[in-house]
């Protein structure tokens, strides 16, 4: 028998963070969800409502939401999905759309912080907004997502955000030096801008989507970034490029279109400065990047950020101006 701390679902994440910070969270067992409460397995007693029960050991299978699905779709439902705040986001093949309610309920039951599930119908339009179809839980797509010790609150159906870029954001934050001038050219709700501001960067964030401006400003505040460390410009970058200054570092994260903006933004980086450009390309294909940037730039690093389709990946290239 294992002791569990019982907390209301609304306090699940805070309780988990607290238990984790004092070493009390028993990670050999899974949390348990029942009637609006979460039970976190413990290594030792803490203050609060403690419930003794058989623990659910963590195994590869026990983490898989598909064990809770009807037999006929267990093997065809996708294993992979994203979690953004309290929302599970999953792509479903059309053949199993009729099972979307069962899939939503299995996702919610298997993931302690998840209260709703949405079918991902793809990222669309110039603002790269994800079309979502709610398949379980209460309506509404505003939620707060935690990443690298920061908080991002936004409506995921109105502004772009990808939890899959967390490691990439952390990587860039380690490269930034205090006082660096950074241009985040396609900033969205400002996840790159904010982690780079935390590392001492002076940020100019640009995005054309008015919803990006709304949530980016909220997130700068939520993460206590002083107003002196950033400016947000709501505009297409091509319309204001002439009013921008010189930068030590530029982030170009608009992967389906980044290459179209290279000629416009390369003059803005100082000699010795860096551009991080994100593109969808066949794996390890760098020729197009090298030819677009030209002889003035040296490729210092490239990596696959995540797979995008069977034949392509989201890649990042670090380009240094000589």
The residues binding ligand SAM (CB under 6 A) are: 126-128, 160-161, 165, 186-188, 191-192, 206-209, 212, 236-238, 253-254
Whole-angstrom distance, CA of residue 117 vs CA of residue 132: 9
CB of 289 to ligand SAM, least distance (A): 17
Closest residue by beta carbon to ligand SAM: 188
CB of 9 to ligand SAM, least distance (A): 27
CB of 127 to ligand SAM, least distance (A): 4
Beta carbon nearer to ligand SAM, 26 or 173:
173
Beta carbon nearer to ligand SAM, 115 or 254:
254
Beta carbon nearer to ligand SAM, 69 or 159:
159
CB of 66 to ligand SAM, least distance (A): 29
CB of 252 to ligand SAM, least distance (A): 9
Beta carbon nearer to ligand SAM, 163 or 200:
163
Whole-angstrom distance, CA of residue 70 vs CA of residue 316: 40
CB 127 within 8 A of CB 212: yes
CB of 104 to ligand SAM, least distance (A): 25
Query: From edge to edge, which strands make up the β-sheet containing 247-252?
Result: 230-234, 202-207, 181-184, 247-252, 269-282, 312-321, 297-309
- Which residues contact residue 294 at a Cβ distance below 8 angstroms, ignoring those fewer than 6 apart? none
Beta carbon nearer to ligand SAM, 184 or 248:
184
Beta carbon nearer to ligand SAM, 101 or 238:
238
Q: What angle do CA 116, 117, 120 make, to 5 degrees?
A: 145
Beta carbon nearer to ligand SAM, 191 or 273:
191
Beta carbon nearer to ligand SAM, 81 or 160:
160
Beta carbon nearer to ligand SAM, 70 or 126:
126
Strand partners, 166: none
CB of 170 to ligand SAM, least distance (A): 13
Whole-angstrom distance, CA of residue 254 vs CA of residue 162: 12
Tokens linked to 162:
């990808």
- Chain centroid to CA 212: how far? 15
Residue 80, CA atoms < 13 Å, CB-side half-sphere: 7
CB of 97 to ligand SAM, least distance (A): 26
Residue 221, CA atoms < 13 Å, CB-side half-sphere: 8
CB of 145 to ligand SAM, least distance (A): 11
């Amino acid at each position: 028998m294992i002791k569990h701390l019982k907390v209301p679902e609304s306090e699940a994440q805070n309780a988990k963070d607290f238990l984790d910070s004092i070493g009390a969270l028993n990670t050999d067992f899974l949390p348990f969800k029942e009637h609006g409460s979460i039970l976190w397995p413990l290594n030792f007693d803490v203050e609060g409502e403690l419930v003794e029960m058989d623990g659910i050991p963590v195994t590869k299978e026990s983490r898989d939401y598909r064990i809770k699905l009807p037999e006929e779709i267990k093997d065809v439902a996708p294993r992979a999905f994203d979690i953004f705040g309290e929302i599970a986001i999953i792509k479903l093949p059309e053949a199993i759309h009729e099972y979307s309610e069962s899939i939503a309920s299995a996702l919610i039951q298997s993931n302690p912080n998840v209260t709703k599930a949405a079918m991902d119908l793809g990222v669309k339009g110039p603002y790269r907004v994800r079309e979502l179809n709610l398949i379980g839980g209460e309506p509404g797509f505003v939620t707060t997502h935690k990443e690298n010790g920061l908080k991002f609150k936004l409506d995921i159906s109105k502004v772009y955000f990808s939890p899959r870029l967390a490691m990439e954001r952390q990587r860039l934050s380690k490269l930034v030096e205090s006082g660096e001038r950074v241009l985040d050219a396609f900033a969205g709700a400002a996840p790159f801008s904010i982690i780079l501001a935390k590392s001492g960067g002076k940020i100019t964030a640009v995005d054309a989507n008015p919803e990006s401006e709304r949530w980016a400003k909220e997130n700068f505040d939520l993460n206590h970034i002083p107003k002196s460390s950033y400016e947000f410009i709501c505009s297409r970058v091509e319309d204001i490029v002439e009013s921008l200054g010189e930068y030590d570092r530029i982030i170009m994260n608009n992967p389906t279109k980044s290459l179209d903006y290279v000629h416009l933004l390369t003059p803005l980086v100082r000699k010795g400065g860096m551009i991080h450009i994100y593109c969808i390309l066949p794996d390890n294909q760098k020729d197009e990047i090298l030819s677009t940037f030209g002889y003035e730039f040296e490729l210092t690093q490239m990596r696959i950020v995540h797979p995008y389709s069977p034949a392509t990946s989201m890649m990042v290239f670090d380009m240094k101006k000589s």
